[in-house]
């Protein structure tokens, strides 16, 4: 703890009112901003003698000064906290890189109004629709409107100076109002239909288009009727593509996924019952917050720090929040929007489908983010630096063991190179002939089989061999490689820390020395990922082996009992348990089973 900061004296002067606290280091750099219902109790919790998470201990050791600001209420403290986080961007807070204003679609006033992309201040006369999650969602929507309703998107200066139709007219994307090819009333109708589409009033829009189609057909204006028919068809198609739910849902859906120390929160925007767009965020978790606290901190910053953000009718998440934090955030949303906005965790029907869609996207985007070439290169470079290697490692192998109470043990070997997982080089080993539950013997057998082949030239030796375990497992690996004469491979153990939580692992070097990396270390994230992948691959192999055994008849492997005799035994007794319960005399009554075979069957089924 920083000696310069006398926390005991400080706590004597702190109020018990609600408010915000700011923590600074000795260079007066902001470390963390937090809120509290009771400032004294909350700040005292940072300086208790035990039970403080390691990452929080690191923060506390850097504190040289704490400043507090009293707020009228806990909700007011939340708003102030988020404004300070947004402006000061403290090192240890969850930070949203989301400073840009959101884009809108703008329809100008006038007889021949223009529809266009807009971002920034709303000072022009006309109607704004949005906000949209990103510019790609805007351009996709504008493209559909241009093809379907054929309203102009050209600049006003271009429109005023046209003397003949442009290319958009030629490809049937505009009705050429610039040269009077469409009258004002008809153009206003087209723009009105585009506005109804943007408002999500699809039912009313369909009715109006159908009425106009029938009217045109009645007056024998078949070309005009065909145009309305095409518009209806296009609208029905986009409704199908976006999986519209009955009702007018205005929902924000957040799904959080984690890989090692990396996190992705994926947001689906549901507007008027259809998916309008999506966006992924990759926040850091420098204080090792729980899933609930992390998502709560993210949502607070998402909605409270950015006051111009559109509020939905409801928020759906895939982790439950602490009840007090949930109530506080809902109250803050009510104060901001003037209406109740529930935060839901358990949902059904279409909302459940949307949540699963968001979770799948979150997992896939996180995997892509983790395995981008730039990130992988950074992780390998950091691993080189951590292990003080002369050259950057090119190939890593990691081993793990899986079994159920020592039964049907499987060893796994996964391989990573600078492009990420190299799944074609993954290997599994069914471990037999060892004492059940002896993980050291299992690791020795898997390593021996793997590196005997590699020494014979049947594969490529890795630069670093990673063992999921501590000094004991590392010792086994050193022994195997020494016996095989493999001396060009560096061995590294990765052991779970005392808390057995991600981010607190201990690295065991070949020399036996231990090393603990910061939780945000790229090298640690790489080792966590390859360790978790080896664990997943081993468990999958063990489950497959276990399932295969369950599907295999106990009668298999008994000398003299082939498929025909097994079938006759099961037909006679009705099942394997009944066969096991039968004595030698009963077994001998089965067609094709001699007394000697019956004795062999009984002996095999009742042997230890």
Are both 237 and 264 inside the same structural domain? no
SS3 (DSSP) at 74: helix
- Would residue 438 count as lying in a domain? yes
Q: Say if residue 367's pLDDT is above 60.
A: yes
Relative orientation angle of helices 222-241 and 202-218, to the nearest 10 degrees: 160
Tracing tokens 């998402």 back to the chain, one arrives at 302
Query: Domain containing 45: what range?
Result: 7-88
pLDDT greater than 60 at residue 136: yes
- Grade residue 503 by pLDDT with cuts at 50, 70 and 90: low
The reply to whether 541 and 430 lie within a common domain is yes
In a domain, 514, yes or no: yes
Considering Cα of 123, then 129, then 132, then 137, what sign does the dihedral take? negative
- The domain boundary, picked from 219, 241, 263, lies at 241
- Strand, helix or coil at 514? strand
- Judge if 237 and 263 occupy the same domain: no
CATH number for the domain harbouring residue 466: 3.30.420.340
Packed helices 74-88 and 291-300: angle between N→C axes, nearest 10 degrees: 80
Name the strand (E) or helix (H) holding 13: helix 7-13
Q: Is the pLDDT score of 4 beyond 70? A: no
**What is the DSSP code (8-state) at residue 518?**
-
Residues 264 and 282 in one domain: yes
Q: Give yes or no: residues 207 and 291 share one domain.
A: no
pTM above 0.75, yes or no: no
Residue 83 CB coordination number (10 Å): 15
Instruction: Answer whether residue 446 shows pLDDT above 80.
Output: yes
Residue 451's nearest CA partner among 487, 481, 490 is: 481
pLDDT band of 242, cuts 50, 70, 90: very low
**For 468-489, what is the mean pLDDT?**
90
> For residue 375, is the peptide bond before it cis, meaning its omega torsion is within 30 degrees of 0?
no
pLDDT classification of 55: cutoffs 50, 70, 90: confident
Same domain, 421 and 544: yes
Pairing of strands 30-36, 343-344: unpaired
Q: Say how far apart CA 162 and CA 277 lie, in whole Å.
A: 35
Q: Per the domain annotation, does 98 fall within a domain?
A: no
Q: Is residue 378 part of a domain?
A: no
Domain boundary at 241, 262, 282, which?
241
Q: In this structure, is residue 382 part of a structural domain?
A: no
Q: Does position 171 have pLDDT exceeding 70, yes or no?
A: yes
Q: pLDDT per residue over 71-108, tens digit each?
A: 989 999 999 999 899 888 898 998 876 655 678 889 99
Angle at 350 between CA 347 and CA 356, to 5 degrees: 70
DSSP alpha helices (H): ranges in 373-438? 373-386
Query: Does an H or E element contain 316, and which?
Result: strand 314-317
Q: Are residues 165 and 196 in the same domain?
A: yes
**Beta-bridge partner residues of 255:** 266
CATH code (residue 360): 3.30.420
209 and 346 fall within a common domain: no
Residue 526 sits in the same domain as residue 405? yes
State the pLDDT at residue 205.
76
**Distance of alpha carbon 276 from alpha carbon 448, whole angstroms:** 55
The percentage of residues in the chain with a pLDDT greater than 70, rounded to a whole number, is 92
User: Looking at the 3D structure of the chain, how many domains does it have?
Assistant: 5
Cβ 18 vs Cβ 76: under 8 Å: yes
What is the CA 533 to chain-centroid distance, rounded? Answer: 16
Name residues whose C-beta falls within 8 Å of residue 121's C-beta, 6 or more positions apart in sequence.
Answer: none
pLDDT band at 243, cuts 50/70/90? very low
Strands 506-508 and 490-495, bridge-based pairing? antiparallel
Helices (H), 468-521: 471-484
On the question of pLDDT at 504 being above 90, the answer is: no
CATH number, domain of 598, equals 1.10.150.20
Could you tell me if 178 and 127 lie in one domain?
A: yes
Evaluate whether residue 140 is within a structural domain: yes
Last residue of a domain, which of 549, 578, 594?
549
Q: Tell me, yes or no, whether 365 and 262 share the same domain.
A: yes
- 558 part of a folded domain: no
- For the beta carbon of residue 39, count every other beta carbon within 10 angstroms: 25
Res 17: pLDDT: 93
Shared domain check, 397 and 267: no
Q: Are 82 and 300 in contact (CB under 8 A)?
A: yes
Question: Among 455, 445, 454, which Cα is nearest to 399's?
Answer: 445
Closest by alpha carbon to 490, among 376, 371, 381, 390? 390
Token pair recorded at residue 348:
């059904």
Residue 94 domain-assigned?
no
């Amino acid at each position: 703890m920083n000696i310069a900061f006398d926390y005991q004296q400080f706590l004597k002067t702190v109020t018990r009112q609600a408010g915000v606290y700011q923590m600074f280091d000795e260079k007066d750099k902001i470390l963390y901003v937090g809120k509290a219902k009771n400032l004294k109790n909350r700040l005292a919790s940072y300086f208790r003698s035990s039970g403080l998470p390691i990452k929080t201990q690191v923060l506390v050791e850097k504190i040289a000064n704490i400043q507090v600001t009293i707020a009228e209420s806990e909700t007011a403290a939340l708003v102030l906290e988020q404004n300070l986080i947004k402006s000061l961007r403290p090192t240890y807070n969850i930070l949203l890189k989301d400073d840009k204003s959101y884009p809108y679609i703008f329809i100008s006033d006038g007889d021949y109004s223009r529809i266009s992309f807009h971002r920034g201040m709303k000072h022009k006369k006309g109607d704004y629709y949005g906000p949209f999650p990103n510019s790609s969602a805007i351009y996709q929507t504008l493209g559909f409107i241009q093809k379907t309703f054929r309203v102009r998107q050209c600049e006003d200066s271009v429109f005023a100076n046209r003397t003949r139709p442009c290319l958009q007219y030629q490809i049937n994307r505009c009705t050429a109002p610039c040269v009077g090819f469409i009258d004002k009333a008809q153009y206003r109708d087209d723009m009105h239909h585009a506005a109804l589409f943007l408002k999500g009033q699809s039912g009313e829009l369909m009715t109006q288009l159908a009425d106009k189609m029938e009217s045109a057909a009645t007056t024998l204006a078949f070309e005009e009727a065909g145009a309305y028919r095409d518009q209806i068809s296009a609208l029905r198609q986009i409704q199908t593509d976006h999986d519209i739910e009955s009702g007018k849902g205005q929902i924000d859906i957040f799904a959080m996924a984690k890989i090692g120390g990396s996190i992705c929160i994926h947001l689906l925007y549901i507007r008027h019952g259809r998916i309008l767009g999506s966006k992924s965020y990759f926040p850091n978790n420098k204080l090792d917050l729980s899933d609930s606290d992390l998502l709560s901190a993210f949502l607070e910053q998402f909605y409270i720090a950015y006051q111009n953000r559109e509020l939905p009718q409801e928020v759906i998440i895939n982790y439950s929040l602490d009840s007090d934090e949930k109530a506080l955030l809902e109250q803050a949303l009510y104060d901001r929007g003037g209406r109740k906005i529930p935060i839901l965790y358990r949902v059904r029907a279409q909302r459940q489908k949307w949540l699963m869609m968001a979770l799948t996207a979150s997992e896939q985007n996180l995997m892509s983010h983790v395995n981008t070439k730039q990130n992988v290169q950074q992780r390998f470079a950091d691993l080189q630096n951590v292990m003080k290697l002369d050259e950057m490692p090119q190939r890593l192998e990691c081993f793990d063991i899986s079994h159920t109470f020592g039964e049907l043990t499987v060893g796994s070997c996964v391989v990573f190179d600078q492009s990420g997982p190299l799944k074609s080089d993954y290997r599994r080993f069914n471990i037999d002939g060892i004492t059940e539950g002896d993980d050291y013997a299992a690791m020795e057998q898997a390593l021996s089989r793997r590196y005997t082949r590699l020494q014979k030239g049947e594969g490529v030796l890795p630069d670093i061999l990673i063992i999921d375990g501590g000094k004991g497992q590392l010792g086994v690996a050193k022994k195997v490689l020494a016996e095989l004469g493999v001396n060009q491979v560096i061995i590294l153990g990765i052991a779970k820390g005392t808390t057995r939580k991600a981010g607190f692992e201990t690295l065991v070097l070949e020399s036996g020395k231990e090393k603990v990396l910061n939780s945000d270390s790229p090298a640690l994230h790489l080792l966590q990922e390859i360790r978790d992948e080896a664990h997943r691959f081993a468990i999958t192999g063990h489950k497959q082996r276990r399932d295969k055994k369950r599907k295999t008849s106990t009668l298999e492997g008994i000398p003299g009992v082939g498929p025909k005799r097994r079938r006759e035994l099961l037909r006679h007794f009705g099942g394997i348990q009944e066969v096991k319960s039968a004595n030698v005399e009963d077994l001998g009554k089965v067609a094709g089973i001699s007394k000697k075979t019956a004795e062999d069957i009984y002996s095999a089924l009742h042997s230890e």
